[in-house]
Chain A
Amino acid sequence: MVKKITQKLYIALMFIFLYAPIAVLIVLSFNKSKSRAKWGGFTLQWYKELFANQQIMNALYTTLVLALVSALVATIIGTAASIAMNSMRRSPRTIMMGITNIPMLNADIVTGISLMLIFVAINYTLGFTSVLIAHITFNIPYVILSVMPKLKQTNKSTYEAALDLGASHMYAFRTVILPDIFPGIMSGFLLAFTMSLDDFIITHFTKGPGVNTLSTKIYTEVRKGIKPEMYALSTLLFVSVLTLLILINRTPSEEKINKRLKKKAVQKESNSKFRIFKPAIILIVIAALIVGSFAGMKTTSGKNTLNVYNWGEYIDPEVITMFEKETGIDVVYDEFEMNEEMYSKVETGAVKYDVVCPSDYTIQRMIEADLLAELNYDNIPNIKYIGKDYLQSAEAFDPGNKYAIPYCWGTVGILYNKTMVDEPIDSWSAIFDEKYKNNILMINSVRDAMGIALKYLGYSLNSTDRDELEEATNLLKEQKPLVQSYVVDQVRDKMIGNNAAIGIIYSGEAIYTRRENPDLEYVVPKEGSNIWIDGWVIPKNSENKENAEKFINFLCRPDIALLNFDYITYSTPNTAARDLIEDEDIRNSTIAFPDSATISNCETFKYLGDAMTAYYDDKWREVLSQ
Chain B
Amino acid sequence: MQCLCMGIAMNKLIDLQNITKAYGDNIVLDDLNLYIKENEFLTLLGPSGCGKTTTLRIIGGFENPDQGNVIFDGKNITKLPPNQRQLNTVFQKYALFTHMTIAENIAFGLKIKKKSKSYIDDKIKYALKLVNLDGYENRKPDSLSGGQQQRIAIARAIVNEPKVLLLDEPLGALDLKLRQDMQYELIRLKNELGITFIYVTHDQEEALTMSDTIVVMNQGYIQQIGTPEDIYNEPTNAFVADFIGESNIIAGTMIQDKLVNILGTNFECVDVGFGKNKPVDVVIRPEDIDLVAPEQGTITGRVTSLIFKGVHYEMEVMANGHEWLVHSTDLSPVGSEVGIHVDPFDIQIMNKPESDDEEAVILDE
Contacts and interface: CB of A to CB of B under 8 A. Distances in A.
Given A175-B97, A176-B97, A179-B99, A164 B89 contact: yes
A171 interface: yes
A601 interface: no
Contacts of B97: 158, 161-162, 175-176
Contacts of A176: 97
Interface stretch (B108-116, B209-217, B327-335): B108-116
Interface string A148-180: 000000010110111111111001000110011
A171 B93 contact: no
Given A157-B91, A168-B83, A162 B108 contact: yes
Contacts of A158: 95-98
B345 interface: no
A161 to B, nearest CB: 4
B202 interface: no
Contact of B160 (A165, A168, A180): A165
Residue of B60, B81, B83, B98 most packed against chain A (CB within 10 A) = B83
A165 B91 contact: no
B99 A164 contact: no
A256 to B, nearest CB: 14
Contacts of A162: 97, 108
Contacts of A275: none
B81 A166 contact: no
A321 interface: no
B62 interface: yes
A171 B95 contact: no
A164 B91 CA distance: 10
A264 B139 CA distance: 8
A160 B112 contact: no
Query: At the interface, is chain B mostly helix, strand, loop or mixed?
Result: loop
Nearest to B91: A157
B89 A166 contact: no
Contacts of B83: 163-168
A160 B89 contact: yes
Interface in A167-197: 167-168, 171, 175-176, 179-180
A603 B29 CA distance: 89
A160 B109 contact: no
B257 to A, nearest CB: 52
Contact of B62 (A160, A166, A179, A267): A160
B112 A166 contact: yes
Interface string B82-123: 111000110111011111010000001100110000000000
A161 B108 CA distance: 10
A66 to B, nearest CB: 33
A160 B91 contact: yes
Contacts of B96: 158, 161
B64 to A, nearest CB: 14
A166 B95 contact: no
A22 B285 CA distance: 81
B156 A165 contact: yes
A160 B95 CA distance: 9
Given A160-B82, A164-B60, A165-B160, A267 B89 contact: no
Given A165-B160, A267-B140, A171 B91 contact: no
B355 interface: no
Interface in A242-283: 264, 267
B112 A164 contact: no
B138 interface: yes
A29 to B, nearest CB: 45
Contacts of B95: 155, 157-158, 160-161
Query: At the interface, is chain A mostly helix, strand, loop or mixed?
Result: helix
Contacts of A166: 83-84, 109, 112-113, 160
Given A164-B89, A165-B112, A267 B160 contact: no
A164 B88 contact: yes
Contacts of B153: 161
Contacts of A163: 61-62, 81-83
A428 to B, nearest CB: 76
A160 B109 CA distance: 13
Contacts of A157: 91-93, 95
Contacts of B101: 267
Contacts of B89: 160-161, 164
A135 to B, nearest CB: 32
Interface in B54-82: 60-62, 81-82
A176 B101 CA distance: 13
A482 B177 CA distance: 88
B88 A264 contact: no
Contact of A180 (B61, B91, B99): B99
Contacts of B160: 165-166
A167 B98 contact: no
B165 to A, nearest CB: 11
A168 B138 CA distance: 26
B318 to A, nearest CB: 49
Contact of B91 (A161, A179, A264): A161
Nearest to A159: B95
Contacts of B61: 163
Nearest to B57: A160
Interface in B120-179: 138, 140, 153, 156-157, 160
Nearest to A158: B95
Contacts of A179: 99
A264 B89 CA distance: 29
A573 B211 CA distance: 103
Residue of A171, A175, A180 most packed against chain B (CB within 10 A) = A175
Given A157-B93, A165-B88, A171 B112 contact: yes
A231 to B, nearest CB: 45
Contacts of B98: 158, 180
A93 to B, nearest CB: 16
A55 B153 CA distance: 61
A164 B88 CA distance: 6
A622 B109 CA distance: 78
Contacts of B108: 162, 165, 167, 175
Contacts of A171: 112
Contacts of A267: 101, 138, 140
A149 B138 CA distance: 29
A276 to B, nearest CB: 16
A475 to B, nearest CB: 75
A180 to B, nearest CB: 7
A179 B93 CA distance: 19
Contacts of A165: 83, 88, 108-109, 112, 156-157, 160
A159 B137 CA distance: 22
B138 A164 contact: no
A441 to B, nearest CB: 64
Contact of B138 (A155, A180, A264): A264
A391 to B, nearest CB: 76
A158 B156 CA distance: 12
A267 B101 CA distance: 9
A129 to B, nearest CB: 38
A87 to B, nearest CB: 13
Nearest to B112: A166
A167 B89 CA distance: 13
A179 B97 CA distance: 10
A162 B160 CA distance: 12
B196 to A, nearest CB: 16
Residue of A157, A168, A176 most packed against chain B (CB within 10 A) = A157
5 contacts: A160-B95, A162-B108, A163-B61, A163-B62, A179-B99
The 6 A-B pairs at the shortest CB distance, nearest first, are namely A165-B109, A157-B95, A161-B95, A157-B91, A166-B112, A163-B82
Given A161-B156, A166-B83, A175-B97, 11 more contacts: A157-B93, A158-B95, A162-B97, A163-B61, A164-B89, A165-B83, A165-B156, A166-B160, A167-B83, A168-B83, A267-B101
